[in-house]
Structure 1
Amino acid sequence: MTLFTMQNLITSALFLSVAQAETNSTSGNTTMVGWVSPAPRRSTWSIIWSCLSIFIVCSWKCVHLNIPTHEEIQGEWHTIQLCRGLPDVSFWPKAPLRRKWRRKIIWMTFIALAPEFGVAIAARQYREARRELKEFKQDISNEYARKFTMAHSFYVQMGGVVIFEPSPHSSPIEENSASNLQSNNEMSNAAHYDSQVVESSQPPDSTGHGILLARMPRYLSDVKHNMLRIPESEIKDLSKADVITKAFAITQCTWLVVQSLSRVAHGYAISLLELATLAFIFCAFIMHIFWWNKPFDVESRRVVTEIAPGRKVTASLDYLSMDDLVVSDSEIARERISDLSWSNFLVLIFEPIGVPVGDILSIRRPFPDYLPSISLYIASTTFLAIHLAAWNWEFPSPVVKSLWRWLNLGTLVASFIPLIGSAKSHWVIQADAIDDALDMI
């Protein structure tokens, strides 16, 4: 069949469909139109969908979790054979994959319900990455300092680099598995440790000692030259931040903000759900700023097989616990840097007001160390202040209106107390420093 014949068939089909439509319109005494505008009034479903889509997409894109374990990366499924001779059919994910999905869903729900804590967590990780970057550049020449970026620091912090020293009796790592990396999820090794940085989806096939660099940041200065073998572009390529989802989230958020401002400017009301979504958008925007350089959904590590010349991967018990040092491949595979421990969660809440959490707050800290906690309370204050825009709105009953007012107002006032406490602590630190300086004169 020629192209000309195909065009004739398509044209004929379109003509018949139009003719049938004209016949139907004539018999029904109606008029055909080319475009029908939606109803001028907003429906309940349109409001719910626009807000719900923002919560789902933004929560998905905001959560920058650390690298999962090897079993979670593999993502194996339970299979069943329906017919002999046919491939097995996957029907249910195994425990590691379910654990990975459950962690993502829990964090998405947590961010959606308490976005101010997401801001604090992002600020804490940004502070640690910034500190490592600053310390790294102090130990290295300016020529190499420019190559080490925040992306490198975040990658180390999220458990992306493993220092591995094979035992003297283990076989050397050979250059024979690089081509099988993608298909078999094996490590790409370098002969005679010349490259010193290799890709790994699982630990090296040898015995020895392995340490996640994020657990032992003091080794960062020892592997600084090897870290520079990992270009920033390679780390960004590991990130799975797709443009389509991000563009959809930005479009939805921008549309809701513009629509809400336009309705308020023309004297129209917006719903409480839309107001809560606007407050969530503010927190999500701050999270994206702090996590701008952190790779998203990375599932690959790099193994450093040597550190500085003459330096071995050893650590004294003063700096290293038994949980930090692993001695087998399977233990390295199960290693994962926690996104937020319970003790760090308590520190975020109580640190600015000087309430001790174990031994964590036994010493005074410089003001930059309070950045996560201050970010938490500033985000919480702004989040609640946006909700107070509904102070004079219509509510289902006077009781609901009073509860809305005073609960938000009381929580807002309580959010200022830690900020005042952190400012006082900073003033005491500065005053003590001045007194010490005067005593030395």
Structure 2
Amino acid sequence: MESLLLAITLYLGPALATNTTGATASPAREGWVSQPNGRGTFDILWGSLFTIFLCTWTSLHLNIPSLKEKYIHQWSRKLRWMMQAIMAPELVIGFATGQKVEARRSIEMWKRSGYYGWTMRHGFYANMGGFVVQPRDSQAFPVNAKQLHYLVTRGYTPFPSTTGEEIWDKSKQDGFQKMLTLVQTGWFVLQVLGRAIQHLPVTTLELTTFGFVFCTFASYYEWSNKPLDVESPTIIYLEKSTREILIEAGNMPNAEKPYQNTPLDFIDNQSPSWLTEIQPRLHFRMGPRERPLPRFTNDKFPVIGAGRDTFVLFTVIMAYCCLHFIAWNFSFPTRVERLLWRVGCITIVVTTFIFLACETYQDGHRLGRWQRWYLKLFPRNPVHLARVDTMEKKRREMEFVPFWEVVIMSPVTMIYTLARTYIIAEVFVSLRSLPDGAYDSVQWSSFIPHV
């Protein structure tokens, strides 16, 4: 028996030594490697790109297009948002979280008015342009949850008969798409974790793709009740004209002013939006030119407020940004590239923190949070109450995005964009020279118990 074991050892010894992985890999580097028995450069590139595509294209829950919009325009808009998701996936998580918070607020608003059939799906559906009103003598336009609530409580239209199941039936989330995304992302995560456990080099492209998977799961969770790729809204016909609705609004704030987006701007003007507000100030426009708006844009900055959602959002975004620090001591083609990667990682974390801090501070003013906290800290004497009244008046008069925030965020955004652009470019440029161990495959048999 001993002689047999000795013979097997002598026979397999050279082969095992040749296939030794990670821990004993040569420090030598290689450029493009064709498909060997293990994996080559194309395997790394294709696996990562396909995963990124699934994480960005299939996870985007965009708003409903206008009634007469062509498919090519819808497709190009989703392509632009896919590029946006690649450049700043944490921004997409912010939009998803804000939309979830606004949908939850709409439930509370309807309950206070005695309507208990309104669900999260109704909230998402309304705020994505799912309900379009057709006045008696004017052009149709979408209404969000607040605007529809105004119309229902004022008797202009009955409570929508559309159920949550009917709304979900409009969604294009098919089982095959979910299965394909789950299988691909799950297999990719297993590959990365397996390489880390066996101390095999992980490329910066794979690490960045792992970050996209992390953000995709977070977005999926926040958008779990939002229908995907809905093409046709629900039409609500009104017996009264837009002019009559505005006249009957009476002395409501801003009801007498010309509207910018839809005739119901005095209820909620969908502010602020990059396409409809910020871009016109920069003297260029890419959003809908028609008025009233034929659809709700996808870039409304949500007011999240203080609470569990804000904490979770801050944690997820900062975790994604800090994920790039894992490559701090990775082997890069040159020392300069490694130094620039480190600078880029620090820049992304710092600029993102500044952005979140400014938004949190300004968010407190938008919701009157600082006034409420001020009254909790100080007694309710006439001096403090007068000061709170002054703060409240300034809050109502100030712009949603004040000038000071524009001054701070403009250079912060530019610096973040430069750092993010370098990191995206570097993950592809570094493929020209990778450590030998990067082409070793995970030995899955080592994870299987055996004798």
TM-score under structure 2 length normalisation: 0.60
- Segments of structure 1 that go 5 or more residues without pairing to the other structure are 1-37, 73-95, 167-206, 352-364
C-alpha contact 1:69 1:333 (8 A) present in aligned 2: no
Letter of the structure 2 residue corresponding to residue 66 of structure 1: N
CA distance in 2, matches of 1:134, 1:40: 59
1:321 aligns with 2:259: yes
Distance 1:64 1:224, change over 3 A: farther
2:143 is aligned to 213
CA deviation profile, 1:194-227 (whole Å, cap 9, x unmatched): xxxxxxxxxxxxx456442228353354579944
CA distance in 1, matches of 2:295, 2:360: 35
CA deviation profile, 1:15-57 (whole Å, cap 9, x unmatched): xxxxxxxxxxxxxxxxxxxxxxx95522111111111111112
How do residues 218-233 of structure 1 correspond to structure 2 at under 5 angstroms? 218-219=150-151, 221-222=153-154, 226-233=158-165
CA distance in 2, matches of 1:387, 1:283: 13
CA distance in 1, matches of 2:183, 2:155: 42
1:63 is aligned to 60
State the shift of 1:336 in Å.
Answer: 0.8
Corresponding residue to 1:272 among 166, 185, 204: 204
State the shift of 1:276 in Å.
Answer: 0.1
Distance 1:226 1:61, change over 3 A: farther
CA distance in 1, matches of 2:156, 2:44: 52
1:154 aligns with 2:90: no
Distance 1:107 1:437, change over 3 A: same
CA deviation profile, 1:294-342 (whole Å, cap 9, x unmatched): 111111121223589xxx744648247164139xxxx79971111115x
Q: Secondary structure at the match of 1:240?
A: coil
1:108 is aligned to 82
CA distance in 2, matches of 1:67, 1:419: 28
CA distance in 2, matches of 1:114, 1:292: 21
CA distance in 1, matches of 2:217, 2:380: 44
How do residues 393-408 of structure 1 correspond to structure 2 at under 5 angstroms? 393-408=330-345
Distance 1:224 1:232, change over 3 A: farther
1:250 aligns with 2:182: yes
1:129 aligns with 2:103: yes
Q: Secondary structure at the match of 1:107?
A: helix
1:293 is aligned to 225
State the shift of 1:245 in Å.
Answer: 1.2
Letter of the structure 2 residue corresponding to residue 131 of structure 1: R
CA distance in 2, matches of 1:424, 1:296: 32
Distance 1:318 1:378, change over 3 A: same
When the two structures are aligned, how many residues end up with a matched partner? Answer: 309
CA distance in 1, matches of 2:175, 2:353: 38
2:298 is aligned to 339
C-alpha contact 1:165 1:313 (8 A) present in aligned 2: no
Distance 1:421 1:334, change over 3 A: closer
Letter of the structure 2 residue corresponding to residue 138 of structure 1: R
Instruction: Tell me which structure has the larger Cα radius of gyration.
Output: 1
Letter of the structure 2 residue corresponding to residue 318 of structure 1: N
Identity %: 27
CA distance in 2, matches of 1:414, 1:60: 26
1:391 is aligned to 328
Letter of the structure 2 residue corresponding to residue 433 of structure 1: L
C-alpha contact 1:159 1:301 (8 A) present in aligned 2: yes
Distance 1:324 1:334, change over 3 A: closer
Q: Higher RCO, 1 or 2 (CA under 8 Å, sep at least 6)?
A: 2
Distance 1:130 1:223, change over 3 A: farther
**Greater helix content:** 2
Distance 1:216 1:422, change over 3 A: closer
More displaced stretch, 243-252 vs 97-106: 97-106
What root-mean-square deviation, in Å, do the aligned CA atoms of Structure 1 and Structure 2 show?
3.5
CA distance in 2, matches of 1:421, 1:435: 23
Distance 1:225 1:434, change over 3 A: same
CA distance in 1, matches of 2:75, 2:359: 37
Corresponding residue to 2:347 among 407, 410, 424: 410
C-alpha contact 1:70 1:333 (8 A) present in aligned 2: no
2:71 is aligned to 97
